[in-house]
A and B are shown apart, each in its own frame.
Chain A
Amino acid sequence: MAEAFYRTAAQLAYSGCDELPQEFQPDKHLIYSSPATLAFNSPGAQGFGVKRAGLAIPGSVMLLISPGCCGRNTAAPGPSGRYSGRMFYMLLDETDIVTGRHLSKIPGAVKEICEYCSEKPTAVMLCITCVDALLGTDMERVCRSAEEAAHVPVVPCYMYALTREGRHPPMATVRKAVYSLLKPMAKRADCMNIIGSFSPLSSGCELYRLFNKAGVRHIREISRCKSFGEYLNMAQANFNLVLNPESRLASGWMEKALRIPSIEISRMYQIDKIHNQYRLMAKALDIPWEDQQDYDAAQEEIARFREKHGGTVFAVGEIADADPFELSLALLRYGFCVSEIYGTINKINFWFLQKIAALSPDTRVYSNLSPTMLYYRPSTPQAGIAVGKDAAYYHPGCAHVMWCGEEQPFGYDGVRSLFKAFAKALEGVAK
């Protein structure tokens, strides 16, 4: 019987990042489609894809210009369903695709939508897909024509799945698109933006408190902006705190166009690394930063869990608010076992993989996208907790911590919440 392809952490670390087996190189094989890969294939089906992300501007609406197939999942009753009143579709037929005639209709469609809406939209996002990517559509020009016709800002959103691994993947360009309506404003020393995700940081995250303490009175995130005016005030920020590398394109543009410099930190679950990162950030910003209390609280939460569930074995997936390799390394360093990791290896997380190989050389690493995952069976002994939607799919019988909610976990608060979620999941299974 065929088996799912895997390599141990030790084998992968030995081979090196440039010599990964083909099964770990998505461009070398077909992409397996299972519930574990849904977020990869169709980010909009779960969480945020370009369509939902493009509506981050308060009061905006979106016109999706595509064949019917591209807009199908927006009818889903899931998170994107709540945007149904803000989504409009211009369906392309074969003649449109061949002749590109649909482009001349877009300004009229935008005007019709604006007239239809009970309240004039603050902006119309024009979302185009693989078809226009291949046709080479100059969407900037189309947007200008639509602006003239409807007297409303019109912004292009490129849902080009074909460029997923390119220099500017869709989720990076849409991050830039949603900030593109900001205009330069006078800077205020007590204002900052947090950019990176389309939903807010967890309200309990220490960043809010610690920045407040350091004198920052207005911490803005696009997802917390209740009005277009509040959104525009993001241009007052003294600096941007970037929490997701996919926002570098956006932060680069904001630096150039709005003169807002940025500093980037990453989501991590190793508390010493969080501490180091914060220390360096505070030094660069030249602000006071006292996070010992938060550090201790996170450490206590970990200790509490370890005391009760010390022998827990984890299976860690990538459809979660964590890098599976960094999270696995954190768990190993806290004294737990990680039997399996499901993830996509890149140059950055390979560094974590090397550390994992030293601590747990036999940890199995799988690629969700490999066609052989069709034959996947969990290794023995089975994991006690599966972290992430993909790991939960592979391990239906154990405790599940999906860890991909709407609010974004970060920092010590993220660590604390995660270990609380672990304890809750195990208690649920025990009951």
Chain B
Amino acid sequence: MKGLLKVLSPFAPDQSGAVEALYEFGGLIVVCDAGGCTGNICGFDEPRWFKKKSAIFSAGLRDMDAILGRDDRLIAKLKAAVEGSGANFVAVIGTPVPAVIGTDFRALKRIGEKKAGLPFLTISTKGTGLYDEGEEDALLQLLKAFALDALPVEKGILGVLGATPLDLSSLSAAEKLTEAYRQKGWKDVRCYGMGSGLNAVRRASAAQQNLVVSPAGLKAARYLQKKFGTPFTVCCPLPHKLPCDFQSFHGKRVLIIHQQVFADTLRDSILQSTDADVTVASWFMMDNALRESQDLHFEGEKQFQAAAIRGGYDIILGDKMMERALPDYKGRWIDLPHFAVSGRLVP
């Protein structure tokens, strides 16, 4: 049955992606829920939450708030929380509750900005989508709200888009990425969302180039290219050493399951040293411009099981949580943690 998961458990949802994208920008983030969604986002999908404080709140909606659509109470609570907080902006994140009751996020933004005197980002996530959809929307809205001026381009500045722990499965990925690109000659690497704050976003137009490390950053990169003419490249340098030698892939059929940019980068690395037949697959968004003809997009457990077996792959690289859905798979499985899938960080 479509939509039925018998072995796998749900992946990180859109609302988690939105919160992750905005986590480090000094905003006041309000999850428009009854409490449970906030608990799941923070307690499970945001590994920084246990180490790094951020102003995340639940709207604490109750049945009568939802039934009567008491947005005025939400605005009043928001206004009270904003006072004296020093927040840079307010972000209201949607969940299934506002999706069911049809909350007017545009009105919420307009009224909220007027009452609280701060920019409002309203991300109309519904809890039914996957993390990259929420991340994409939040990142784009953030840039639209704060990257306003066309500043002179400064040579040596590299902007990084689409980097969150959900995409990179590592808390130190931004540092490693920064270091790697400094060694390539970039003097200032600005990893938006992991390490670089709101000022870096305000000065996004000064970047010489942008680097997109996950599909969720593509829309933002295209927006910056259109608005400021900033070129971009797509690549996700591997955040960790793989427990395998690509030479052993020679002549093999290989399936890589991860977020598309990471998987593509890994495919390029494999093809540089072997003649393996590599297919990229993802449960998350796949950009057609990056996709090769044999690449796969998974939408359901059954389809995943059928495609993985039918493909006759000798090697599968993917989060080991997925392996249990393929009890009949006889090939070699190489673990590639994906935080959005299993909630595991790269060791």
- Using a CB–CB cutoff of 8 Å, the interface residues on chain A facing chain B are 2, 26-35, 38, 40-46, 66-77, 84, 87-94, 96-97, 102, 105, 108-109, 112-113, 116, 129-131, 133-135, 159-166, 369, 371, 374
Contact = CB atoms under 8 A, between A and B. Distances in A.
Contact of B39 (A41, A67, A108): A41
Contacts of A44: 39
A94 B35 contact: no
Nearest to B31: A33
B39 A88 contact: no
By CB atoms of chain A within 10 A, which of B38, B39, B130 has the most?
A: B39
Nearest to A116: B6
A171 B309 CA distance: 42
A46 B42 CA distance: 13
List 4 tightest A-B contacts by C-beta distance, closest first: A42-B39, A41-B39, A69-B127, A161-B34
A96 B9 CA distance: 19
B3 A88 contact: no
A70 B62 contact: no
B3 A92 contact: yes
Interface of B: 1, 3-6, 9-16, 30-31, 33-40, 42-45, 49-50, 53, 55-63, 66-67, 77-78, 80-81, 84-86, 95-97, 99-101, 126-128, 130, 321, 342-344
Contact of A29 (B44, B55, B77): B77
B20 to A, nearest CB: 13
Given A30-B60, A134-B66, A93 B85 contact: no
A71 B44 CA distance: 11
Contacts of A84: 9
Given A42-B43, A93-B128, A161-B33, A69 B57 contact: no
A92 B5 contact: no
Contact of B127 (A32, A35, A41, A70): A70
| Majority secondary structure of chain A interface residues (helix, strand, loop or mixed) | helix
Nearest to A88: B6
B12 A72 contact: yes
19 contacts: A29-B60, A29-B77, A41-B43, A69-B96, A70-B40, A71-B10, A75-B343, A89-B9, A90-B3, A92-B128, A94-B128, A97-B100, A112-B4, A134-B66, A135-B100, A161-B33, A162-B63, A166-B62, A166-B63
B97 A2 contact: no
Contact of B96 (A31, A116, A129, A165): A129
Contacts of A30: 30, 57-60, 77-78, 80-81
A68 B126 CA distance: 10
A32 B85 CA distance: 13
Contacts of A112: 1, 4, 6
Contact of B36 (A42, A74, A77, A93): A42
A75 B344 CA distance: 10
B9 A41 contact: no
A368 to B, nearest CB: 12
Contacts of B342: 75
A2 B55 CA distance: 13
B43 A67 contact: no
Contacts of B128: 67-69, 91-94, 97
Nearest to B15: A69
Contacts of A131: 96-97, 100
B88 to A, nearest CB: 14
Contact of A133 (B10, B63, B95): B63
Contacts of B39: 33, 38, 40-45, 73
Given A69-B95, A75-B321, A109-B4, A162 B61 contact: yes
Given A75-B9, A77-B343, A116-B6, A161 B35 contact: yes
Contacts of B66: 130, 134, 162
A323 B328 CA distance: 51
Nearest to A49: B36
Given A72-B45, A88-B4, A93-B3, A27 B57 contact: no
Given A31-B57, A91-B10, 7 more contacts: A67-B127, A68-B127, A69-B95, A134-B67, A134-B97, A134-B100, A371-B81
A113 B4 CA distance: 9
A188 to B, nearest CB: 40
Nearest to A135: B100
A90 B128 CA distance: 12
Nearest to A39: B39
Contact of B99 (A32, A33, A71, A97): A97
A44 B40 CA distance: 9
A41 B36 contact: yes
Contacts of A75: 9-10, 44, 321, 342-343
B42 to A, nearest CB: 5
Nearest to B43: A45
Contacts of A89: 4-5, 9-10
Contact of B34 (A77, A96, A130): A130
A427 to B, nearest CB: 27
Contacts of B9: 71-72, 74-75, 84, 87, 89
A45 B40 contact: yes
Given A31-B57, A75-B342, A165-B62, A67 B126 contact: yes
A42 B30 CA distance: 16
A70 B36 contact: yes
B40 A73 contact: yes
Nearest to B81: A371
B130 to A, nearest CB: 7
Contacts of B1: 90, 105, 108-109, 112
Nearest to B56: A33
A41 B38 contact: yes
A113 B6 CA distance: 7
A45 B46 CA distance: 13
A33 B61 contact: no
A67 B96 contact: yes
A45 B11 contact: no
Contacts of A166: 62-63
A91 B97 contact: no
Nearest to B80: A29
Contacts of B31: 33
A118 to B, nearest CB: 12
A108 B321 CA distance: 26
Contact of B44 (A34, A76, A102): A76
Contacts of A71: 9-10
A182 B67 CA distance: 35
A69 B81 contact: no
Nearest to B60: A31
B18 to A, nearest CB: 11
